């Protein structure tokens, strides 16, 4: 991985008339005879035309190059021996004449207004180096299956967000050519995850990015997709992170994120390989995440389940997760006695808590009733464990209504009604650490209204400590922020801080 671009050589905003930015679209192709025509037609049919379409034939053994040259004489066709997708993309953008570069895989296609909606964002703000968007997933025949709108989970596209969430899909982006030149393009020694590597280097160098909150292309999923090579994808992503964090001059706020980034990358890799049916690799990935987890072992296992379960359809969630229990237990290396306690928490979270997160109060209460009468402290401890181990959290109002229903139905004694304070304070502390001001304010109101409980004293203390750490971290980052980094292309995102 190359070092960040010094401020004195960082690319300046594009010169000339910003209302006439031109676009070159690069399509790398290797044995792409079946789909390449659709990809090319989707670019040629844009409502705002591209300056050029460049197809780089990466040593295809089929008739891809001949078909393109015969059917699409307006496409610039470049040929090279088979060197991989990173080398093909580099060959394409370096030959391009446009000021903006779009990358389109040969089995995907742009929607007709992609350039019309994305280019104006870069024209209006010369400080932007990259614009990203959502995408539609389709099967091998091209029929839509779902849509991805990542800005709901990742509202900001800064270095911290790229590292932690990795919402990287090159087809959704338009990138200023000057920024590709500044960081040297793709690392050609990476067989996969070369796109993640590029985006991390761009962000570290100061390339500002923003969302175009619209679906702009279709990503086709089929058996030949590179991203279906699970083991290779896992290895390449680990190599990218190894290179990134090996750099000696990372900002301190980024260095602090290493454990969290490595943990969630390993858990994501486990989910990805599980989807591909590669359970042995998924098990290895979960085990590899353990040294980086900030939580006790039982809550780490609950989080593993959550990272899988909340991505699954609700109708198959329960049976799928129950079938995965041996994988979770083996990955954690837990003995049967320890596993029994953890499994009870896994069942309760699966049957009760996820429904509350998703706004299905009736289903959550059904799980609560099935569990039977309990004490306030026991129920509060289960729910608090779920809050700490699941990245998604319910609103304080939903927790309050849920708790009150349990009181009315006699599932917990009325004398222990104030135990809910612990849950509101846990939600409050979590929101403060994650810099979610409105959510924190709502949780604070409910914590005060729920009354005093001796059990809430530790939660109040935890909240105060988390708040003080967040304040000290913000002050420390402001004092130590490198001025050169902040100067790059007028970047202002360097004052932001990582999601916690």
pLDDT tens, residue by residue, 200-215: 999 999 999 999 999 9
pLDDT at 435: 77
pLDDT at 491: 28
Two structure tokens written together for 482 = 């490198």
290 occurs within a structural domain: no
Whether 35 and 10 have beta carbons less than 8 Å apart is answered as no
Cα dist from 200 to 34, 210, 235, whole Å? 32, 15, 17
Residue 120: enclosing H or E segment and its boundaries?
A: helix 114-124
Burial pattern 5-19, b for ≥16 Cβ within 10 A else e, equals: bebeebbeebeeeee
Cα–Cα distance measured from residue 303 to residue 457, given in angstroms and rounded to the nearest whole number:
25
Average pLDDT over residues 296-309: 97
208 occurs within a structural domain: yes
Average pLDDT over residues 347-353: 96
Cα dist from 240 to 18, 167, 343, 388, whole Å? 34, 15, 35, 29
Average pLDDT over residues 91-108: 98
Q: Name the β-bridge partners of 174.
A: 102, 131
Cα dist from 26 to 77, 142, 224, whole Å? 10, 21, 20
Does residue 114 surpass a pLDDT of 60? Answer: yes
Of 224, 259, 290, which closes a domain? 224
Does residue 16 surpass a pLDDT of 90? Answer: no
Average pLDDT over residues 47-53: 98
pLDDT at 431: 87
Listed residue (176, 173, 193) closest to 104, CA to CA: 173
pLDDT at 140: 85
Q: How does the average pLDDT of the chain come out, rounded?
A: 89
Rg (CA), the chain: 25
Chain centroid, CA 291 distance in Å: 21
With cut-offs at 50, 70 and 90, classify the pLDDT of residue 487: very low
**Residue 42's domain is classified under what CATH number?**
3.90.550.10
80 occurs within a structural domain: yes
pLDDT tens by residue, 186-203? 999 998 999 999 999 999
226 vs 140 pLDDT, higher one: 140
Does residue 317 surpass a pLDDT of 90? Answer: yes
Average pLDDT over residues 432-449: 88
pLDDT at 473: 67
Three-class DSSP category at 285: helix
Whether 61 and 128 have beta carbons less than 8 Å apart is answered as no
Cα–Cα distance measured from residue 361 to residue 8, given in angstroms and rounded to the nearest whole number:
56
pLDDT at 243: 97
240 vs 456 pLDDT, higher one: 240
pLDDT at 466: 66
Residue 281: enclosing H or E segment and its boundaries?
A: helix 279-289
486 occurs within a structural domain: no
Opening angle at CA 388, ends 384 and 390, nearest 5: 110
With cut-offs at 50, 70 and 90, classify the pLDDT of residue 477: low
Cα–Cα distance measured from residue 270 to residue 153, given in angstroms and rounded to the nearest whole number:
20
With cut-offs at 50, 70 and 90, classify the pLDDT of residue 386: very high
Two structure tokens written together for 214 = 């619209």
Average pLDDT over residues 297-306: 97
To the nearest 10°, the Cα dihedral for 460, 466, 472, 478? -130
Sign of the dihedral through C-alpha 371, 377, 380, 385: negative
With cut-offs at 50, 70 and 90, classify the pLDDT of residue 452: confident
Whether 440 and 431 have beta carbons less than 8 Å apart is answered as yes
228 vs 153 pLDDT, higher one: 153
Does residue 20 surpass a pLDDT of 90? Answer: no
With cut-offs at 50, 70 and 90, classify the pLDDT of residue 144: confident
Two structure tokens written together for 115 = 């350039």
pLDDT at 494: 28
To the nearest 10°, the Cα dihedral for 81, 84, 85, 87? -70
Listed residue (105, 109, 388, 328) closest to 224, CA to CA: 105
pLDDT at 6: 41
pLDDT tens by residue, 249-284? 999 999 999 999 999 999 999 999 999 899 999 999
HSE-CB of 447 using CA atoms within 13 angstroms: 20
Residue 144: enclosing H or E segment and its boundaries?
A: strand 144-148
Cα–Cα distance measured from residue 78 to residue 84, given in angstroms and rounded to the nearest whole number:
14
Whether 272 and 29 have beta carbons less than 8 Å apart is answered as no
Cα–Cα distance measured from residue 455 to residue 447, given in angstroms and rounded to the nearest whole number:
13
Q: CB-based contacts of 118: which residues, under 8 Å, 6+ apart?
A: 131, 133, 174, 212, 216
Of 182, 207, 224, which closes a domain? 224
- Domain range holding 89? 7-224
Q: Residue 11: what are its φ and ψ, rounded to 5°?
A: -65, 140
Whether 136 and 219 have beta carbons less than 8 Å apart is answered as yes
pLDDT at 480: 44
With cut-offs at 50, 70 and 90, classify the pLDDT of residue 499: very low
pLDDT at 457: 77
- Residue 322's CB is within 10 A of a number of other CB atoms, namely 12
**DSSP 8-state class, residue 350:** I
Q: What is 216-252 written as a DSSP string? A: EEEEE--TT-GGG-HHHHHHHHHHHHHHHHH-TT--H
Cα–Cα distance measured from residue 153 to residue 392, given in angstroms and rounded to the nearest whole number:
10
With cut-offs at 50, 70 and 90, classify the pLDDT of residue 486: very low
Does residue 476 surpass a pLDDT of 70? Answer: no
Percent of the chain exceeding pLDDT 90 equals 77
With cut-offs at 50, 70 and 90, classify the pLDDT of residue 478: low
Q: What share of the chain is helix, strand, coil (3-state, %, to 5)?
A: 60, 10, 30
pLDDT at 429: 85
Q: Residue 59: what are its φ and ψ, rounded to 5°?
A: 65, 40
pLDDT at 224: 66
Q: Name the β-bridge partners of 411.
A: none
Cα dist from 101 to 290, 310, 468, whole Å? 40, 35, 44
* Overall domain count for the chain: 2
Sign of the dihedral through C-alpha 335, 341, 346, 347: positive
With cut-offs at 50, 70 and 90, classify the pLDDT of residue 225: low
């Amino acid at each position: 991985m190359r070092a960040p671009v010094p401020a004195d050589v960082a690319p300046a905003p594009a010169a000339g008339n910003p209302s006439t930015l031109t676009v070159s679209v690069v399509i790398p192709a290797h044995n792409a005879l079946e789909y390449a025509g659709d990809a090319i037609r989707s670019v040629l049919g844009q409502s705002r035309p591209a300056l050029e379409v460049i197809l780089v034939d990466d040593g295809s053994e089929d008739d891809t190059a001949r078909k393109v040259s015969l059917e699409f004489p307006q496409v610039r066709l470049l040929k090279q021996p088979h060197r991989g997708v990173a080398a093909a993309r580099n060959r394409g953008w370096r030959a391009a004449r446009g000021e903006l570069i779009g990358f389109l895989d040969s089995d995907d296609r742009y929607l007709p207004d992609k350039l019309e909606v994305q280019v104006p964002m870069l024209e209006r703000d010369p400080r932007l180096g990259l614009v990203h968007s959502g995408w539609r997933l389709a099967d091998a025949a091209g029929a839509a299956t779902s849509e991805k709108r990542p800005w709901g989970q990742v509202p900001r596209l800064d270095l911290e967000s790229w590292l932690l969430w990795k919402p990287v899909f090159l087809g959704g982006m338009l990138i200023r050519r000057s920024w590709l030149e500044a960081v040297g393009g793709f690392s050609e020694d990476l067989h996969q995850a070369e796109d993640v590597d590029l985006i991390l280097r761009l962000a570290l160098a100061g390339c500002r990015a923003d969302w175009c909150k619209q679906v702009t292309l279709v990503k086709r999923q089929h058996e030949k997709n590179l991203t279906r090579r699970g083991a290779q994808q896992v290895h390449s992503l680990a190599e990218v992170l190894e290179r990134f964090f090996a750099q000696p001059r990372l900002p301190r706020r980024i260095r602090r994120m290493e454990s969290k980034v490595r943990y969630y990358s390993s858990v994501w890799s486990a989910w990805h390989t599980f989807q591909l049916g590669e359970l042995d690799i998924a098990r290895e990935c979960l085990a590899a995440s353990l040294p980086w987890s900030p939580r006790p072992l039982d809550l780490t296992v609950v989080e593993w389940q959550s990272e899988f379960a909340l991505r699954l359809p609700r109708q198959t969630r329960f049976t799928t997760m129950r079938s995965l229990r041996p994988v979770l237990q083996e990955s954690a290396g837990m003995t049967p006695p320890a596993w029994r306690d953890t499994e009870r928490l896994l069942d309760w979270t699966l049957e009760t808590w996820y429904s509350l997160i998703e706004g299905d109060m009736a289903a959550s209460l059904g799980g609560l009733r099935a569990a039977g009468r309990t004490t306030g402290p026991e129920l509060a401890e289960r729910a608090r464990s779920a809050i700490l181990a699941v990245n998604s959290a319910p609103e304080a109002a939903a927790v309050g209504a849920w708790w009150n229903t349990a009181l009315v139905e006699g599932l917990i004694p009325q004398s222990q009604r104030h135990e809910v304070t612990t849950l509101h304070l846990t939600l409050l502390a979590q929101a403060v650490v994650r810099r979610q001001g409105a959510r924190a304010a709502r949780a604070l109101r409910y914590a005060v209204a729920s009354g005093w409980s001796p059990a809430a004293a530790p939660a109040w203390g935890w909240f105060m400590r988390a708040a003080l750490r967040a304040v000290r971290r913000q002050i420390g980052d402001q004092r130590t922020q490198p001025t050169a980094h902040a100067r790059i292309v007028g970047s202002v995102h360097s004052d932001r801080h990582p999601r916690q």
